[in-house]
Structure formats: C-alpha cells, structure tokens
C-alpha cells in the first residue's frame, strides 16, 4: 500500500479519486448545487430575506469540499451570479439587492466550515452541529451587514428581519446536517 492511499481523507471530497480535474468538477458542481437549491425559495412579506435551502447547501458544500475548494466554489457562485446568471434566491443576479451580504458571507462560511471539516469537525454529531452553527453565524454577520448597507435598516431591525425569523429553520437544518455528515463518514469508512 502506498503512502498516498494510506492517508485518511481530510474531507468527504478527498474520498473521491482524482486530482485537478476532480477538484474543478467539485468546485463547479458545488456552485451549481447551491444555485439550484437557491431556487427553492419562499418570499416572506415582512423581510427581504426569503426562506431557502441556500444556507444549508452552502454549509454542506463547504464541509464536503474543504476550505480551498469550498471557498473556490462559493466564490464562483458569487462571481457568476454577479455577472448576471440569475441563480441567487428568487432568481436574483448582480449585486444591488438587499440580501447580497448573505451571498458574500457564503464564501467566508464555506472556507471556515471547510477548514473545520479538514480538522475532523464533521465526523461526530455534536461537532458537526457546532461546525454548522459557526457557519450560520458567519452568514448572519455578513447578511445583517449587507441589510444595513443596502437598505435603510438599523442593525437591530436587520437582526429582527434577517436572523430571528430563520433561527428555527436553521436549527432544523443543523440537526439534519449533524446527523447526515457523520453518517456519510461512517458509510465511506465501511466501504474501505
């Protein structure tokens, strides 16, 4: 057995054999996945922030791909959307809309959760939940900042409209991810 095959994978993406072509496909695939899940979006009358599967998919992509590929995937998602592809939530593109801060936060969150996953934080349920909480917090910070900058909202109003309505849904997504990620690692481990 060579030393390359005896090294444990750092992320779920590392389980897939391949080199640069694999990494490019994963980066592009992650961006497309987030773009598709962003289309599952429900507008809310009291906030410019819709309910969507975007945050959940961003955190899964970052965790599965690791810090560099996760960052590259979400940077690709951001740049392609800013260039005009309408694959942000509610079919938005460009950068002049109230929720652009969340999209920018996806890049930072994907990098951070990827970094934590590379250190094994996605392999046990409690640690995976913590990883997702940290990722959500990063997205919230960028999102609230964007709401303040792009609208006339005060920070308190931005938190009330851009964080509080989403806490329960995000908690449910975190519970799901905290079960899914370690289970996937067990499945991958059983196939070795």
In a domain, 34, yes or no: yes
In a domain, 191, yes or no: no
Q: Render each residue's pLDDT in the chain as its tens digit; 192 residues.
A: 344 444 567 888 888 888 898 899 999 999 999 999 999 999 999 999 999 999 999 999 999 999 999 999 999 999 999 999 999 999 999 998 889 999 999 999 999 999 999 999 999 999 999 999 999 999 999 999 999 999 999 999 999 999 999 999 999 999 998 898 888 888 877 444
In a domain, 188, yes or no: no
Print the domain residue range for 40: 9-181
Q: Which residues of 96-126 are buried (b: 16+ CB within 10 A; e: fewer)?
A: ebbbbbbbbbbbbbbbbbbbbbbeebbbebe
Task: Provide the pLDDT for residue 16.
Answer: 82
In a domain, 1, yes or no: no
In a domain, 105, yes or no: yes
Strand partners, 51: 42
Cα angle 132, 135, 141 (rounded to 5 degrees) comes to: 140
Paired tokens of 129? 């939940």
Task: Provide the pLDDT for residue 19.
Answer: 86
**Domains identified in the chain, total number:** 1
In a domain, 28, yes or no: yes
In a domain, 84, yes or no: yes
Closest CA to 124 of 174, 171, 64, 185: 185
In a domain, 91, yes or no: yes
CB 61 within 8 A of CB 74: yes
The CATH number covering residue 148 comes to 1.10.1760.20
Q: 5: how many CB neighbours lie within 10 A of its CB? A: 8
pTM metric for this prediction: 0.90
């Amino acid at each position: 057995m060579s030393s390359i095959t005896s090294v444990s994978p750092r992320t779920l993406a590392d389980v897939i054999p391949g080199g640069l072509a694999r990494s490019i496909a994963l980066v592009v695939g992650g961006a497309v996945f987030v773009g598709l899940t962003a289309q599952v979006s429900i507008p809310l009358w009291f906030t410019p922030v819709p309910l969507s599967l975007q945050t959940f998919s961003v955190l899964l992509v970052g965790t599965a791909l690791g810090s560099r590929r996760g960052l590259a995937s979400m940077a690709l998602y951001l740049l392609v959307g800013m260039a005009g592809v309408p694959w942000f939530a509610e079919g938005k593109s460009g950068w002049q809309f109230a929720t652009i801060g969340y999209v920018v936060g996806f890049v930072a969150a994907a990098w951070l959760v990827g970094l934590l996953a590379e250190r094994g934080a996605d392999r046990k349920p409690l640690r995976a939940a913590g990883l997702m909480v940290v990722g959500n917090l990063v997205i919230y910070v960028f999102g609230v900042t964007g709401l303040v900058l792009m609208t006339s909202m005060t920070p308190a109003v931005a938190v009330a409209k851009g964080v509080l309505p989403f806490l329960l849904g995000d908690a449910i997504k975190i519970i799901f991810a905290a079960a899914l990620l370690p289970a996937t690692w067990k499945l991958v481990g059983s196939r070795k």
